[in-house]
């Protein structure tokens, strides 16, 4: 079993390293996009289903609370957290509308939308990205495999080159942390080194 444990951790590390090498320029571009949006008083809106919903909530919490340094809260909202809104939209309309309707209500031109779908084919995620684009929001997709439909509709797309969902989610988690840290450093400077 120990060998299997090492194999799983090694595989995860290798996928993360390969992803960072392939996407460093794009990560930098998205960090600058988010920094500009925050400087202009805009916000980040995030969403996904299942594990991707948790990733969206996690990134929003890092922006609103803090990441590695003490700094003012930054405006970010995970659209998958309000049970009453999610269930009322699903009940009265369709689950494919749960994020699109919220973006119509809460999103503004210039806001950043981070849409997360490991397959890239979640209908509610795709529909929301379409709404975001029509309303002048900037769109970023986190996905995996071949990127699915999300790779075709989002402005900036991060595709983890595997179909293995746990590895995709692990890279998305590292990507979220990397973006949060670099946004903080761009806005507030690097924190003092830890003792």
Contact between 175 and 55 (Cβ < 8 Å) = no
Summarize pLDDT for 59-107 with one digit per residue, the tens.
999 999 999 999 999 999 999 999 999 999 999 999 999 999 999 999 9
Given this model, what pLDDT does residue 190 score? 80
Whether the per-residue pLDDT at 194 is higher than 90: the answer is no
- Measure the CA–CA gap between 30 and 140, rounded to whole angstroms: 8
- Measure the CA–CA gap between 163 and 39, rounded to whole angstroms: 36
Q: What do you get for the CA distance between the two ends of the chain, in Å?
A: 36
Q: Are strands 44-48 and 112-116 parallel, antiparallel or unpaired?
A: parallel
Burial classification of residue 4, based on how many CB atoms lie within 10 Å of its CB (0-12 exposed, 13-18 middle, 19 or more buried): exposed
Summarize pLDDT for 115-147 with one digit per residue, the tens.
999 999 999 999 999 999 999 999 999 999 999
Given this model, what pLDDT does residue 195 score? 58
Q: Are strands 156-160 and 76-78 parallel, antiparallel or unpaired?
A: unpaired
As its CATH architecture, domain 2-188 has 3-Layer(aba) Sandwich (3.40)
Q: Residue 164 — pLDDT band, cuts 50, 70, 90? A: very high
- Measure the CA–CA gap between 86 and 193, rounded to whole angstroms: 42
- Residue in the structure block whose two tokens are 């690097």: 190
């Amino acid at each position: 079993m120990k060998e299997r444990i090492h194999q799983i951790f090694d595989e995860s590390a290798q996928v993360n390293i390969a992803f960072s090498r392939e996407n460093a320029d794009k990560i930098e571009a998205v960090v600058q996009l988010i920094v500009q949006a925050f400087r202009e008083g805009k916000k980040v809106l995030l969403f996904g289903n299942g594990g991707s919903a948790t990733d969206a909530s996690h990134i929003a919490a890092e922006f609103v609370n803090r990441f590695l340094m003490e700094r003012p809260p930054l405006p970010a909202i995970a659209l998958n957290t309000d049970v009453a809104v999610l269930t009322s939209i699903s009940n009265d309309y369709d689950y494919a509308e749960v994020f699109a309707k919220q973006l119509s209500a809460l999103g503004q031109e210039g806001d950043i939308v981070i849409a997360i779908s490991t397959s890239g084919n979640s209908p509610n995620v795709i529909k929301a990205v379409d709404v975001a684009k029509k309303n002048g929001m900037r769109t970023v997709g986190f996905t995996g495999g071949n990127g699915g439909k999300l790779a075709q509709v989002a402005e900036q797309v991060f595709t983890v080159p595997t179909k293995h969902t746990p590895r995709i989610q692990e890279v998305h988690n590292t990507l979220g942390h990397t973006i949060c840290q670099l946004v903080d450093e761009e806005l507030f400077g690097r924190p003092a080194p830890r003792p």
